[in-house]
Homo-oligomer: A and B are copies of this chain.
Amino acid sequence: MALPKPHGPEGKLKPLLLYGNERQAEIKKAQELPKVFMSSRETSDTLMLGIGAFTPLNGFMKKEDYKQCVHNLKLVDGTMWPMPVTLSITEQEKQSIGLQEGMEVALIDRASDEIYGTMKVEDIYTYDKEVECKEVFKTTDTEGHPGVSKVFNQGDYNIGGSIKVLNEGKYPEKYPKYYLYPETARKLFEEKGWSNVVAFQTRNPMHRSHEYLVKFALESGFADGAFIHAIVGALKKGDIPGETRVKCYEALAENYFPRESISVGVYPMEMRYGGPREALLHAVFRQNWGCSYLIVGRDHAGCGDYYGAFDAQTIFDELWDGALELRPMKIAWTFYCNKCESMASQRTCPHDGEGDRVVVSGTKFRRIMNEGGEVPDKFSRPEVLEILRDYYKTAEKVEIKKGAFEDMPSTKK
């Protein structure tokens, strides 16, 4: 048994990062090139391309790949690809640098003004933001949907072409133990003797229900190792920062998992909150990270009430044969049940009386923590709660918007 091959026709990782002298030479060259400024999403995609997470992409999408992706979930060569990976530029910026196809440009992170890469501009094209958002996000609500809002804030042109990546930002220093490239993770898994790894995507702290998902994925025997894989790129307001969450994952892994079953990693992407489409993207790059399974739960990668609770599971059924080697583990709504005296879900628990199930939504949990209230028993591990309480003591108070899934039908199916 071996780990699944990286995504794409060649089955080989394609990291775009340069190293050593090659990097230095390219940085020197980049300093003389016209500058294209990147949003935080674009910078985070550059990092993902750099470490090979977006294999087989070799840069930002050209028009034909973009169109196929938006409308048909694939690239021109037929490879499944569910979300645009694009770099935009405004009319004004385009004119100010006299951008033309065939030019080389330096890719600059707008926030930090740092060089992140260079691009050979192969395609400059206009695109329809409304169509993109309707297809990809199923909504054009720029007010409420952070992913849509970002698209509408983009420039009116996309520029496509292969890139070289020259910078990894703060991540390697910030997460020295957990910032694992796909290639490094694969080696780690192989050293552990794992051939079927189940990935758990998370942008939140892990409570007992999340621990339970990972545990039954391991119990089924289809996976021989679990990879807690946390997104640490920019999140939306009110989400808990990566550094705090990593402490939670560590506490959980150390106290509640056998060392030989679990591994923790972080990756630099920025959430698009694209629900079903983003679940597919999560699956694609988890395969690049060597995983055979991705746990896909309720409202995976969603926000607000833009997606049905299980849309991110059913979209996998719409894929064609061979679209993806990784398989989703489609899991139900989990909770502690006082009558079962255990964690459970609607698939395994028949008790739906008042007070049977301990259900606390993420939103409600954040409210309790913000207000210093008591978390219901069995909801979270004490080691994790302690870390979160510490964080909330000093955290900026954020108004918690009522989420679509806050009031779960705990007493009904």
Q: Do B350 and A256 have beta carbons less than 8 Å apart? A: yes
Q: Is A100 an interface residue (CB 8 A)?
A: no
**Does A348 lie within 8 Å of B220, measured CB to CB?**
no
- Kindly report which residue of chain B lies nearest to residue A214, judged by CB atoms: B348
Check A347 for interface membership: any CB of B closer than 8 A: yes
Measured in the bound complex, the distance between the Cα atoms of B221 and A217 in whole Å is 9
**Considering the complex, which residues of chain A in the window 213-227 have a beta carbon less than 8 Å from any beta carbon of chain B?**
213, 215-222
Contacts A342-B342, A342-B343, A343-B342 known; A350 to B259 CB distance under 8 Å? yes
Q: Mark A252-263, 1 if CB is under 8 A from B, else 0.
A: 000111110100
Q: By the criterion CB–CB under 8 Å, are B218 and A347 in contact?
A: yes
Is residue A46 contacting chain B, with contact meaning CB distance below 8 A? no
The answer to whether B220 touches A331 (Cβ under 8 A) is yes
Nearest B-chain residue to A378, judged by Cβ? B341
In the docked arrangement, what's the CA distance between A258 and B412, Å? 12
Minimum CB–CB distance from A224 to chain B (whole Å) comes to: 8
**Residue ID in chain B nearest A331 by CB atoms:** B221
Q: Tell me the bound Cα distance from A219 to B257 in angstroms.
A: 19
Question: Which residue of B has the minimal Cβ distance to A259?
Answer: B350
Which residues of the other chain, B, contact A255 by a CB distance below 8 angstroms? 350
With A222-B222, A329-B221 already in contact, the answer to whether A215 and B258 are too (CB < 8 A) is: no
Cα-based distance from A220 to B349 in the complex (angstroms):
14
Q: Is A131 at the interface (CB under 8 A from chain B)?
A: no
Whether A364 sits at the interface, judged by CB under 8 Å, is no
Given contacts A342-B343, A343-B342, contact A219 B216 (CB under 8 A): yes
Q: Does A129 contact B (CB under 8 A)?
A: no
A259 to B351, CA, bound (A): 11
Residue of B nearest to A296 (CB): B221
Interface centre among A257, A329, A331, A348 (most CB of B within 10 A): A348
The answer to the question of A344 belonging to the interface, with a C-beta cut-off of 8 Å to chain B, is yes
- Contact indicator B257/A330 (Cβ below 8 Å): no
Indicate if A88 sits at the interface (CB-CB under 8 A): no
Decide: A215 and B348 in contact? CB cutoff 8 A: yes
A317 CB to closest chain B CB (Å) equals 9
Return the chain B residue nearest A297 by Cβ. B221
The reply on A332 being an interface residue by CB < 8 A is yes
CB-based contact B221/A348 at 8 Å: no
- A window 311-360: CB within 8 A of B: 329-332, 334, 340-350
**Nearest CB on B from A294, distance (A):** 12
User: Which one, B222, B259, B345, B350, contacts A219 given CB within 8 A?
Assistant: B345
Residues of the B chain whose Cβ atoms lie less than 8 Å from the Cβ of A413: 258
Most buried by B among A259, A342, A346: A342
Q: Which residues of B contact A261 (CB under 8 A)?
A: 347-348
Chain A 181-220 residues near chain B, CB threshold 8 A = 212-213, 215-220
Cα distance A332–B349 when bound, in Å? Answer: 22
| Contact of A350 (CB < 8 Å), options: B257, B341, B342, B378 | B257
- Whether B221 and A350, one on each chain, are in contact in the complex, defined by CB atoms closer than 8 angstroms, is no
Q: List 23 A-B contacts (CB under 8 A).
A: A212-B219, A213-B219, A215-B344, A215-B348, A216-B220, A217-B220, A218-B347, A219-B220, A219-B331, A219-B347, A219-B348, A221-B330, A221-B331, A255-B350, A256-B350, A258-B346, A258-B348, A258-B349, A258-B350, A261-B347, A341-B378, A342-B342, A342-B343
For the complex of A and B, the 9 pairs showing the least CB-CB separation, nearest first, are A216-B216, A221-B330, A220-B220, A216-B219, A215-B348, A258-B350, A218-B347, A342-B342, A218-B348
